[in-house]
Amino acid sequence: MRQKIVAGNWKMNGSKALVQQLTSRIGSEMASLENGVGLVIIPPALYVPGVVESSSAGFGVGVQNIACWESGAYTGEISAAMAIDIGCAYTLVGHSERRQLFAETDEQIAAKVEQAVNAGLTVILCVGETLEQRDAGTAERVVSAQVRAGLANVSDDQWPNVVVAYEPVWAIGTGKTATAEDAQAMHVAIRRELKSIGAPADNVSILYGGSVKADNAPALFAQPDIDGGLIGGASLKADEFMSICRAVPGGY
């Protein structure tokens, strides 16, 4: 059975005060969640230790990026082993901002995925098309290629450590959101691609991200192949984030 997950990606936002405020509020409200959803908080790396201190409340903690190398002379990089050492269980890989702003290639992303799963982290592989690609009718082909390339080095026993997050680039931070039906269609395509590369597709959680808010989360999460969300700006507001978490259907 696939796990339902809502992960909050803080991006380059945060402070010691915000860590204390948000984690305390989220931790205190987790007991009221009755839908079995798994919560993950992914702050900037400097604030991971502060979030980990509060993670006894039951939520997971992740880093926003890891290196494609195991260790060595790579100033400024964070290895998968280091992430685990400070208490992380998750890492994002291949977020569109990393692909676009830092020119990360499919080969680098695949290497990062390999480092993550080899170390025992659960990797959340981010995939998604631009508006130009969607308008050109190539969205499904682009996203399927990203899935195939990013997961090329995953072995059969490592699939339990893989989550995919579909984030249409045109919907990230823009206020635009794919319709629930469009998002579901792409999730079906992703699951089909997972099956084609030998993954246990029906057991891999696929999250939707892209301007998810409390008011559109119920329709998105009601879709049969959407297993939760990767939340950006809304994860910085405790009320909004917890409302999104409550929108995940129960019984999982």
Supply the residues annotated as catalytic.
95, 167
Q: Which residue is associated with the tokens 């079906």? A: 188
Q: Given CA atoms 116, 112, 2, 241 in this order, what sign does their dihedral have?
A: positive
Q: DSSP string covering the chain, please?
A: -PPPEEEEE--S---HHHHHHHHHHHHHHHTT--S-PEEEEE--GGGHHHHHHHGGGS-EEEES---SSSSSS-TT---HHHHHHTT--EEEES-HHHHHHS---HHHHHHHHHHHHHHTPEEEEEE---HHHHHTT-HHHHHHHHHHHHTTT--GGGGGGEEEEE--GGGSSSS----HHHHHHHHHHHHHHHHHTT--GGGS-EEE-SS--TTTHHHHHTSTT--EEEESGGGGSHHHHHHHHHTS-S--
CA-based nearest residue to 236, from 4, 15, 3, 86: 15
* Distance of alpha carbon 188 from alpha carbon 223, whole angstroms: 10
